[in-house]
Amino acid sequence: MLFRDVELRFYDFVLKNRHNDTIRLVRHLLVPRKELKKFSSEDSYNTYQLPEDYFDISSLHVLASSGSCKDNLKTEEVKTENLEDVLYDWNTKPSFDFRETLYHLSDKDRVTVYKDDFTIDNVSITYYREPVQVSISGYTKSDGSESTQDIDPEWDEKTTYKILLAMAKEFSAMNSDPNNYQLSKDSLFESLQQ
């Protein structure tokens, strides 16, 4: 359980710091252009179901049509707090003429794509999937069931070592000094940026 917790925090840390070279550590978890199923359709937007193994978005791809013209639209994520301002501003609202639209992640499992003077024909996503959960056969899980198979981490050896080192630091900090735990928790992956 501690490995999974540290692994997901490591993954989140890397994705939040995409601008540096650490993004290469997670490239094997990138899923390119998976077509999304439409969940619902309204006058000004469509909602699509995200993949079950979705962890974080890389990019969203929208194919739209207006009349007999079809083209890919540039997509931009919008914060829901700014949604009304952006949707009704002539310069930022979805537009087929300018080949652009807006989207936001509705919740953990859906994405909403906005439309105005066009029809959305297809939406696909390039995303980072969740890593498989590590398991050791014979281990009793937190829910009381017993693990029946061995599943190794999906990370390369160097990255697995970094996760294990961070896990050991966290375990040590949690079991010795609660104040030290807070310091360690905040700086667990800082050495990756150097």
Residue that finishes a domain, picked among 110, 129, 148? 129
Note the pLDDT of residue 194: 47
What one-character DSSP code corresponds to residue 32? Answer: E
165/141: higher pLDDT: 165
Host H or E run for residue 30:
strand 30-35
Judge if 74 and 143 occupy the same domain: no
Mean pLDDT, rounded, for 65-72: 96
Judge if 37 and 115 occupy the same domain: yes
- 42 by Cβ neighbours in 10 Å (0-12 / 13-18 / 19+) ranks as exposed
pLDDT above 60: residue 187: no
Judge if 55 and 115 occupy the same domain: yes
Judge if 157 and 169 occupy the same domain: yes
Q: How many domains does the chain have?
A: 2
Residue that finishes a domain, picked among 102, 129, 156? 129
Judge if 76 and 100 occupy the same domain: yes
Judge if 47 and 116 occupy the same domain: yes
Judge if 141 and 114 occupy the same domain: no
pLDDT above 50: residue 71: yes
160/141: higher pLDDT: 160
Q: How confident is the model at residue 176 (pLDDT cuts 50, 70, 90)?
A: confident
- φ and ψ of 92, to 5 deg: -120, -10
The pair of structure tokens assigned to 8 is 């997901």
190/22: higher pLDDT: 22
Residue that finishes a domain, picked among 106, 129, 152? 129
Mean pLDDT, rounded, for 96-110: 92
Judge if 118 and 60 occupy the same domain: yes
Judge if 100 and 178 occupy the same domain: no
Using an 8 Å Cβ cutoff, are 46 and 120 in contact?
A: yes
Mean pLDDT, rounded, for 44-60: 96
Judge if 122 and 146 occupy the same domain: no
Q: Closest Cα to residue 88, out of 48, 64, 116?
A: 116
Name 141's Cβ contacts closer than 8 Å, sequence gap at least 6.
Answer: 147
Q: Which domain holds residue 64?
A: 30-129
Judge if 35 and 104 occupy the same domain: yes
pLDDT above 50: residue 170: yes
pLDDT above 90: residue 130: yes
Judge if 35 and 122 occupy the same domain: yes
pLDDT above 50: residue 26: yes
